[in-house]
A and B are shown apart, each in its own frame.
Chain A
Amino acid sequence: MSSAIQSNVVHSGRVARVVIHVVLLIAALFYLLPLFVMLINSVKPLSQILDGNMMSLPHVWTLKPWSEAWSTAQIGVEPTGLRPYFLNSIEMVVPAVAISTMMGALNGYVLTKWRFRGDTFLFGMMLFSCFIPFQIVLIPMARVLGILGIAGTVPGLILVHTVYGLGFTTLYFRNYYAAFPTELVRAAQIDGAGFFRIFWRILLPLSGPIIVVAVIWQFTNIWNDFLFGSSFAGQGSQPMTVALNNLVQSSTGSKPYNIHFAGAIIAALPTLIVYIVSGRYFVRGLMAGSVKG
């Protein structure tokens, strides 16, 4: 535990501590159960699964489903596996996350440090915009992308994900910067620093934790998005989720569940790694970001 994050000062007795540990452990088992099902089924032969033994350990351990899901499973007419789609997702996710986070940071900065009449109202509107059902934007968005000439391209997807991610990134940064001493900004202003200079030199260097939160949130949402990815991607820019969906969904064909589960875990690896690696910063970022409503 780093010193920045302090556990509370409330003390509990020894019995209580045992109880706490047991409860936490049971909770952990609950969270791990589906992952367990996915993992064991991804390393057993299909015949054992179809015999109805979904929950039992494999009789024969095999890694073949993993290699098939990655490189030879049928996604479209070509047996390419998930491999080529990985890069497509990265090409889309990285810029979309970067742009929406950057814009969210600037928005949060303006909404807290350069307030003007009606800013809260605008922020409320942005927040409400998080709640629109994405299904309704599909058709008009397609038209707009068509007019802009970026339908079926990666820039089109980046635009869509940026637009609909702004509400949340703005929320995170606004809450974070609200707690940031405004006096510092004013002092810098008196020293003659301009808008961008203050942002770059004073706020941004201290924004690490909340950037982590915004990036994790955006990364997870965009990486896992299927609706936009399938509707607005063209041939050659289809993201991972679309490929995974093609792998696991089939109306009238056979279903190799072991390959499905292996593929699902592979597709989730980047987000899993992001969560595990940045978990500690994540809580710290949330901590800083939720100080003020």
Chain B
Amino acid sequence: MRGLIGRSLTAAAALAMSTAFAHAAPNVEVLHWWTSGSEAAALNVLKQDLQKEGIGWKDMPIAGGGGGNAMTVLRARVTSGNPPTAAQMLGYDILDWAKLGVLGNLNNVAEAGNWDKVVPKAIQKFSKYDGHWIAVPVDVHSTNWVWGNKHLLDSLGIAQPKTWDEFIAAMAKVKASGKIALAMGGQPWQEATAFDGVVLSVGGPDFYKKAFYDLDQATLSGPQMVEAFKRLEQLRGFVDPNFSGRDWNLATAMVINGKAAFQMMGDWAKGEFLHADKKPMVDFECFRTPGSQGVVTFNSDQFVMFKVGKDKQASQDAMAKAVMSKSFQVAFNTVKGSVPARTDVADTQFDACGKMAMAQLKSADEHGTLLGSMAQGHAAPAAVKNAEYDVVSAAFNGQYTPEQAAKELAKAIKLAQQS
């Protein structure tokens, strides 16, 4: 033990020296979970942008659990008094951290860049706290998408469904042909992602907001929610028996291979199609969940900036500025399958689905129908989101009838709010 402490002290001294050296060259330390090939490559663009300005990049990638592992590490880092410069984060997590008073202030950069004007208001809700900019949005994904294999649909004579009933009819037709109608990955977050669109298809944005923003008990257990769970049950009838536990990208592969016709998934699924050399509107279709047109349920990855010493303020500001720059937003989002978090970017470099998503984002922002995704933690805090996962997943797996499910949803959310 004595030996260990001795070692530790020497190491601590060595560390102190190394940080002293590090001060000479400005750098940013970034905690994120973009480790898969294309995402990491996209992030490398940012690293290089910063390097051009003489700012080093200290990489802290922690993948897994949809950012869950990274959040655990972040807790350890903040508790030990050594937070990173910036951390990737989503939705309500950002505000929860902001409440603890550990985040920085980006107002100078934001004012200079006119962020208040160019970033959609619904996204600003998560980038600002108490009137200060605390985070920089990197991308905007949305969840109410359906992906279809165009060749399969054409061969069955199925046109793009516009309403829920058309969607069900289309899937019935696919099922009758012997193919799998809906490719699904039975993991709670995937089921909840599909449920975002389902809820919208039942009662539109007003119902969605009342249920998932206001968490109104009567709405959550009411007849419209029962209807939503009925539709979820309908979907269950169109998935293959082996859906449970399947990774989302294997479900996407089923659509790509023509084994299945549709998948309800966020627009990160597009990357899988492109990766397999499929062309939008030629090989595959993208359209909003039937019945939810006009609404966009988004989730936006942001870089949350932590309070740092004066010596690091300049490099943190530079990073914030670089993330928001048009060139990076385009470079990153074309790779990621998402759209830029600012609405004043030209869409020339985006594919057909991307152009559509950009236009829809802009119009939804203007009409107040850009809503946070429940499944991705942008409608309610983590505790509530996970309570919803529990019920939606149990309902989709046949543990509840639609009536029970609505009641359980209200109960679970109430409980989650209490604690």
Contact = CB atoms under 8 A, between A and B. Distances in A.
Interface residues on A, range: 35 or more
Interface in A227-266: 227, 230-232, 234-235, 238, 242, 245-256
Contacts of B34: 77, 253
B-side interface mostly: helix
A162 interface: yes
B75 A138 contact: yes
A142 B271 CA distance: 37
Interface in A199-219: none
Nearest to B275: A254
Given A74-B37, A143-B79, A255-B249, A230 B73 contact: yes
Interface stretch (B41-49, B102-110, B387-395): B41-49
A149 B12 contact: yes
Contact of B40 (A79, A255, A256): A79
Given A77-B43, A77-B47, A151 B271 contact: no
A152 B7 CA distance: 15
A116 to B, nearest CB: 19
Interface residues of B, number: 60
A139 interface: yes
Interface string B222-246: 0000000000000000000000000
A274 to B, nearest CB: 23
A235 B4 CA distance: 22
A247 B38 CA distance: 12
Given A146-B82, A249-B64, A155 B8 contact: yes
Contacts of A103: 1
Contacts of A52: 257, 259
A231 B72 contact: yes
Contact of A230 (B35, B72, B81): B72
B80 A143 contact: yes
Interface in B130-172: 141
Interface of B: 1, 3-4, 7-8, 11-12, 15-16, 29, 33-41, 43-44, 46-47, 57-67, 69, 72-73, 75-77, 79-82, 141, 247, 249-250, 253, 256-257, 259, 266, 268, 271-272, 275-276, 336-337
In the A-B complex, the 7 residue pairs with the closest CB atoms = A253-B36, A146-B80, A250-B36, A252-B268, A151-B80, A76-B61, A249-B64
Interface of A: 50-52, 73-79, 95, 99, 103, 138-139, 141-143, 145-146, 148-156, 158-159, 162, 227, 230-232, 234-235, 238, 242, 245-256
